């Protein structure tokens, strides 16, 4: 799968990122609409993955405090490396702006994905939106 990743602000990425997040989080995972959207989107760097046909297939965001979140890849593009490209792009953006580490709240079912990229688990598993999560951290040093 030929994928292009773009990093930009919410104004530029909103349409594509919103579409993906609605498909994955609201429709597929049944996360309540009001839990998905917050005021932080307008302050984040947003990554969007687009396939060779120009279709958005994945997204994620980097908050100003070094948290990566809202990582989502549509079902038809999973296991094709899209998530890794998104994560690597967001991590590089954090490193480029001088962040010493990145943090995230991973759904426990994909914890192994983040471990593969060098993240380590912090604390205990917890439930958010009826889904098991675990906090994770990656240090650049």
Per residue in 59-114, pLDDT tens?
999 999 999 999 999 999 999 999 999 999 999 999 999 999 999 999 999 999 99
Q: Which of these, 57, 61, 91, 87, lies nearest to 74 by C-alpha position?
A: 57
Confidence of residue 45 (pLDDT cuts 50, 70, 90): very high
Give Cα 88 distance to the centre of its chain: 10
Residue 141: what pLDDT?
A: 81
Residue with tokens 């899209």: 82
Tokens read off for 33: 């609409």
Q: Which of these, 89, 85, 125, 133, lies nearest to 109 by C-alpha position?
A: 133
Domain that holds residue 30: 3-139
Domain count, the chain: 1
CATH of the domain at 114: 3.40.630.30
Tokens read off for 7: 């990093």
Q: pTM to 2 decimals?
A: 0.95
* Largest distance between two CA atoms of the chain: 41
**pLDDT tens track for 113-139:** 999 999 999 999 999 999 999 999 999
Residue 1 has pLDDT above 80, yes or no: no
Q: How far apart are CA 64 and CA 115, in angstroms?
A: 23
């Amino acid at each position: 799968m030929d994928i292009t990743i773009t990093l930009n602000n919410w104004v530029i990425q909103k349409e594509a990122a919103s579409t993906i997040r609605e498909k994955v989080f609201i429709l597929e995972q049944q996360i309540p609409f009001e839990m998905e959207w917050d005021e932080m989107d307008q302050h984040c760097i947003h990554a969007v993955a687009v396939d060779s046909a120009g279709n958005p297939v994945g997204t994620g965001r980097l908050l100003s405090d070094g948290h990566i979140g809202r990582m989502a890849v549509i079902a038809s593009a999973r296991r094709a490396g899209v998530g890794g490209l998104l994560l690597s792009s967001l991590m590089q953006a954090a490193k480029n702006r001088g962040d010493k580490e990145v943090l995230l709240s991973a759904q426990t079912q994909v914890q192994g994905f983040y471990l593969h990229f060098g993240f380590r688990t912090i604390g205990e598993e917890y439930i958010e939106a009826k889904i098991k999560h675990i906090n994770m951290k990656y240090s650049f040093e």
